[in-house]
Structure 1
């Protein structure tokens, strides 16, 4: 197979996306560290809460003792103030307990997400044990157009380099080769609306979209390339084939033998 040099025409197919596993492997260790830090913070908050509860109990006991030992107004006021402090402590403790519950739920949720990420990383790692191919499969046979390539023995539809008679250099096209040995050079592919075809004249002249080896992407080959493919009058007359498929999968096609300029 021919080597695929990086080119905008290949879109997302060069290189492949096996680097996702490396990305997860790089960052999931940081997530583990953050999770451990949250657990330590939760333990500290729990210790503070326990200390606050002990202080509140001590203050309650002190108030009770003071009320039993004296009935004077001074001690009564001190006891009342201490009771107010106890109430505030109890409210603080209650709020801390609520915060702890929320943190526990958050930690449980993060642990579940981390487990899912680890499982995903393992799956991706298994898929990417073999070196990732940073190249698109391009067939080795070349010709003036896809029919010329089919005449030379090509039977597989896919990406081929062509060089029409009037072209100064070869360019990449998708060839659709049927069981009858007919090779069609695909000049446009519309599938799912993933590519915006509302372009200006320059973009239609140069072409846009993405070529893919499995013919799953949208593109316009470009007016200049189409002209080069059809301008050679010495070769076999060109046939324009138009295929339309509805949402139910029904296919209709039409052919035109008129000269294409």
Structure 2
């Protein structure tokens, strides 16, 4: 390569090829390195292309051989099995969709029930917010017993407070008052078996069960209260009435007088 002799009158690079030569001389080695790298890359790409072409040819040959050989039945069976699997998956998905629909209906139903319960809870809350009011109606007339109450003008059967002569405080009883003006103090009521009468002596002494104004509940008044009702012999005689009703609804009454 010729040596460049620049002319100072024209600056660093004279209007000749001296500047170009210096530029090429400076970057020539780097350019050669880059070119060699590019050539290697092209060779690799060429090898890959050739390998891909060989693979494609192999695949074509394999397909041709498969078409000519009995192994195509195996591929057909595999394809059929795959189709069967796809069909089963589709059926499974369909069943799951049906289950989802059922669950959605169930959720909707539960939401409706929850809404009803919320409305009921609001109604109950309104009632609970009101002052407590005793809804059990207790008659105002009192006496020593139910006959004494009937003698004072009571004509309605229901709950009354009585205070026998020997009692220290009044207690609640159910009075059955008939159209003849007779008042019976009910000491026991058996109806539907809702109350267990297999009690001990203390419970029979104090009484058990539930009194109701419409006479629909079972109870035993209590031995102590029964004693107080019958202990006063200075008044009129006591009459015990036993009323029995069989399964057919037939009623029988038995009266016993303590004279």
| Alignment TM class, shorter chain as reference | 0.5 to 0.7
Instruction: Give the aligned partner of residue 157 of structure 1.
Output: 157
The structure having more radius of gyration, on CA atoms, is 2
Length-normalised TM-score, structure 1: 0.58
Offset from partner CA, 1:30-75 (integer Å, 9 cap, x none): 9999999999999999999999999999999999999999999999
Is the Cα–Cα contact under 8 Å of residues 10 and 212 in structure 1 kept in the other structure? no
Instruction: Give the aligned partner of residue 3 of structure 1.
Output: 3
How far is 1:215 from its partner? 0.4
Once residues 45 and 149 of structure 1 are traced to their aligned partners in structure 2, the CA distance between those partners, rounded to angstroms, is 121
User: Per chain length, whose mean CA-contact separation is higher, i.e. which structure has more relative contact order (CA < 8 Å, sep 6+)?
Assistant: 1
How far is 1:103 from its partner? 1.1
Where structure 1 has 5 or more consecutive residues not aligned to the other structure, the ranges are none
**Secondary structure of residue in 2 paired with 1:58:** helix
Once residues 30 and 5 of structure 1 are traced to their aligned partners in structure 2, the CA distance between those partners, rounded to angstroms, is 24
Residue 251 to residue 80, structure 1, CA distance change in 2 (3 Å): closer
Once residues 71 and 163 of structure 2 are traced to their aligned partners in structure 1, the CA distance between those partners, rounded to angstroms, is 109
What is the total number of aligned residue pairs between the two structures?
257
Instruction: Give the aligned partner of residue 184 of structure 2.
Output: 184
How far is 1:250 from its partner? 1.7
How far is 1:134 from its partner? 2.7
Residue 236 to residue 109, structure 1, CA distance change in 2 (3 Å): same
Q: For structure 1, which segment, 86-95 or 60-69, has the greater mean C-alpha deviation from structure 2 after superposition?
A: 60-69
Where structure 2 has 5 or more consecutive residues not aligned to the other structure, the ranges are none
Is the Cα–Cα contact under 8 Å of residues 63 and 83 in structure 1 kept in the other structure? no
Once residues 205 and 42 of structure 1 are traced to their aligned partners in structure 2, the CA distance between those partners, rounded to angstroms, is 115
**Secondary structure of residue in 1 paired with 2:164:** coil
How far is 1:156 from its partner? 0.7
Residue 33 to residue 14, structure 1, CA distance change in 2 (3 Å): closer
**RMSD over aligned Cα atoms:** 38.6
